[in-house]
């Protein structure tokens, strides 16, 4: 089986990809956020002058944490090089995956991938726990999407079933 298509990663695609990455990378940040909220509440509830000062200090840390959680996607989009949205030719065959663009050509054997995740907008082929190769689904026809899903399932990378978000 061979699936060949051309895909372009536009700004909306990059936003989805980065937001998903941020959500998976920042679970500890959510716990820290709520811990700080509780700490601020306890500081102000005691009412003593020292506790209020400590509460204000923790509140400032909380504001910085929220700022770091809300704006990293916007900053990352500004830092993307101009070629990041160039079209890429992607070929998936029995031997592996080839990704080509005007400035890059890479070939991955199927053994390089540990697992795959199907998102509504892409297939993510993991080369370890955090690093992955993304395959945008927008460039696929319905038949190609089904063939690619079957290919990934046959390789043991993807559990056949509904998309995960």
pLDDT (tens digit, 9 = 90+) per residue, 137-161? 998 999 999 999 999 999 999 975 5
**Do both 119 and 135 map to the same domain?**
yes
Q: Cα torsion for 163, 80, 23, 39, to the nearest 10°?
A: -170
Percentage above 70 pLDDT, the chain: 87
Give how far Cα 131 sits from Cα of 13, 26, 40, 56, 127, Å: 18, 15, 36, 39, 6
| 160 located within any domain | no
Domain encompassing residue 39: 18-79
Give the end of a domain, one of 59, 79, 99.
Answer: 79
Q: What is the mean pLDDT of residues 6-17?
A: 89
**Do both 109 and 60 map to the same domain?**
no
CB count within 10 Å of CB 138 equals 13
**Do both 72 and 96 map to the same domain?**
no
Residue 25 pLDDT:
53
| 50 located within any domain | yes
Number of domains making up the chain: 2
Give the end of a domain, one of 79, 104, 131.
Answer: 79
Give the CATH number for residue 126. 2.30.29.30
| 72 located within any domain | yes
Give the pTM: 0.69
């Amino acid at each position: 089986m061979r699936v060949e298509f051309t895909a372009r990663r536009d700004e909306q695609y990059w936003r989805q990809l980065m937001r998903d990455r941020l959500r998976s990378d920042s679970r500890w940040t959510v716990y820290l956020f709520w811990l700080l909220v509780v700490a601020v509440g306890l500081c102000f509830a005691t009412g003593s002058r020292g506790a209020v000062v400590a509460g204000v200090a923790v509140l400032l840390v909380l504001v910085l944490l929220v700022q770091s959680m809300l704006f990293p996607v916007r900053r990352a989009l500004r830092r993307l090089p101009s070629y990041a949205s160039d079209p890429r030719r992607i070929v998936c065959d029995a031997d592996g995956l080839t990704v080509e663009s005007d400035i890059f050509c890479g070939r991955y054997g199927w053994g390089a991938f540990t697992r795959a995740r199907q998102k509504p907008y892409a297939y993510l082929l993991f080369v370890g726990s955090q690093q992955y190769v993304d395959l945008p689904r927008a460039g696929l026809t319905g038949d190609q999407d089904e063939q690619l899903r079957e290919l990934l399932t046959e390789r043991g990378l993807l559990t056949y079933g509904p998309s995960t978000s």
